[in-house]
């Protein structure tokens, strides 16, 4: 999916891939439900339909979450580390903003969409940034 030119600095221009950020819970959902919406979003990112954006802080948080014992029934510790490394290679990495890092990360890189299953974020209203639940984003990609 390609974007059109927008008015903000660092926004995607015609011909560039849309810049998309996944909240940690989207990655976790992909690991815990390999047939679910979030897993399909990872496959869509791998297929090059949008540019996945991540930061070191986001990947550190993902690693910390997947290191928790409760996730061993879904993924081995070794595979969890491999998954985080794969996401590090798949995503375009940018430096971490200081505070509310996902929203600031989105604004810093001019991301159009932040994908999150966190109700706190999905109700957030920020000019120039759309926050969407994984299912809504996948529906938008497919329409």
The domain limits of the chain are 19-142
Looking at the chain, the whole-number percentage of residues with pLDDT higher than 70 is: 87
- pTM of the prediction? 0.75
pLDDT the model gives residue 10: 38
Q: Which CATH architecture has domain 19-142?
A: 3-Layer(aba) Sandwich (3.40)
Report the C-alpha gap between 97 and 52 in whole angstroms: 17
Asked if 66 and 80 touch (Cβ cutoff 8 Å), the reply is yes
Q: Which of 126, 46, 29, 55 is nearest to 86 (CA)?
A: 46
Residue 9, pLDDT > 80, answer no
């Amino acid at each position: 999916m390609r974007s059109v030119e927008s008015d903000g600095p660092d926004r995607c221009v015609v011909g560039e891939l849309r810049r998309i950020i996944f909240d940690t819970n989207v990655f976790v959902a992909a690991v815990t439900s390999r047939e679910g919406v979030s897993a399909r979003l990872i496959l869509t990112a791998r297929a090059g339909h949008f540019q996945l954006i991540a930061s070191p802080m986001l990947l550190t948080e993902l690693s910390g979450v997947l290191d928790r014992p409760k996730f061993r029934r879904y993924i081995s510790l070794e595979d969890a580390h491999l998954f985080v490394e794969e996401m590090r290679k798949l995503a375009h990495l940018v430096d971490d903003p200081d505070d509310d890092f996902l929203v600031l990360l989105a604004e810093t890189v001019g991301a159009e969409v932040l994908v999150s299953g966190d109700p706190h974020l999905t109700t957030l209203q920020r000019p120039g940034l759309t926050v969407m639940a994984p299912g809504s984003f996948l529906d938008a990609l497919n329409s």
